[in-house]
A and B are shown apart, each in its own frame.
Chain A
Amino acid sequence: MLLIRCPYCEEERPELEFRNAGEAHIARPTNIAAESDDDFEKFFFIRANPKGVVYERWRHIHGCARFFNAVRDTVTDRFVMTYKAGEPKPAKLPGASK
């Protein structure tokens, strides 16, 4: 079982307590009514889905119930790091090979 570090509980917890909540760092448009259909489609439906390192929202739903962000490698399924919701995208990842 994967152990995921919850930045609010400040420790590693079993993956069964967590839920994935999609791609992170997608800013909601400030004036959504003024969005064109194409822009809205990009915001609402289109996701990067890369092979490799992804930035995701996760929720510790069966724990502290908080949303947080996680950096995960989709090839190895390894969690590189986690950080609190609202914090900026980390500039440098720990142990990054590239």
Chain B
Amino acid sequence: MAKAAAKTKAAAASTSVERRPALAGRTLSAPGVKVEMLPPAERISLRAPQASLAALSKALGLTLPTKPKTSATKDGRTALWLGPDEWMIIDEAGKDPLADCAKVTMLHSAVGISHRNVAISVVGPAAAAAVNSGCPQDLSLEAFPLGAASRTILGKSEIVLLRSAADTFRVECWRSFSDYVFTLLSEAAGDAAN
């Protein structure tokens, strides 16, 4: 907590420090699908045993999902199930999930990865087709329903995929892969409607 507070203070003091997210503002519209870079968000990688889940859920303000390929969303914060003891927390409301986890005394590991990842949204009736151009998973609504989330691959790059609406996907990738992922999705978007 103290650390997080110090961080905000330092950032406010030095106005010359500017965060430049990779590919910020890039968008591409094709018939049936729009690919767009999403604004920066707070993210953490959370690893915890079963015994710590209740305490962590309480601190984070949402129930950590325990079912494979699912997610939970509340007040702009999303918890994605990545593995049996691994979650990714994305906070788009500007609150710091790392500070919330720091209050928990139960065993866990929370690592800030806000700057490691960037997010790309793929929206439109042909969104699933666009993502499927590089992702081998079944993205039909039966197999990958609303709220489904999974770490998977897109072409040669690892991504974390979240279906936030029936025709909306959030693609999380490492910022160093973002150019590749965005270009692949853009190319796919052009073909997806056909």
| A contact set with B: CB distance below 8 Å | 1, 8-11, 13-14, 16-17, 62-66
Contacts and interface: CB of A to CB of B under 8 A. Distances in A.
Interface residues of B, number: 13
A66 B83 contact: yes
A1 B82 CA distance: 23
A69 to B, nearest CB: 16
The prevalent SS among residues of A at the interface is loop
24 contacts: A8-B68, A8-B84, A9-B68, A9-B69, A9-B150, A10-B68, A11-B68, A16-B136, A17-B152, A62-B152, A62-B153, A63-B150, A63-B151, A63-B152, A64-B68, A64-B82, A64-B83, A64-B84, A64-B86, A65-B82, A65-B83, A65-B151, A66-B83, A66-B84
Contact of A14 (B83, B84, B136, B151): B136
The prevalent SS among residues of B at the interface is strand
Interface in B26-82: 68-69, 82
Contact of B136 (A10, A11, A17, A65): A17
Contacts of B136: 1, 14, 16-17
A1 B125 CA distance: 26
Interface of B: 68-69, 82-84, 86, 136-137, 150-153, 158
A8 B152 CA distance: 14
Given A8-B68, A8-B84, A63-B150, 13 more contacts: A9-B68, A9-B69, A11-B69, A14-B137, A16-B136, A16-B153, A17-B152, A17-B153, A64-B68, A64-B83, A65-B86, A65-B151, A66-B83
Contacts of A11: 68-69
A79 B36 CA distance: 39
A8 B153 contact: no
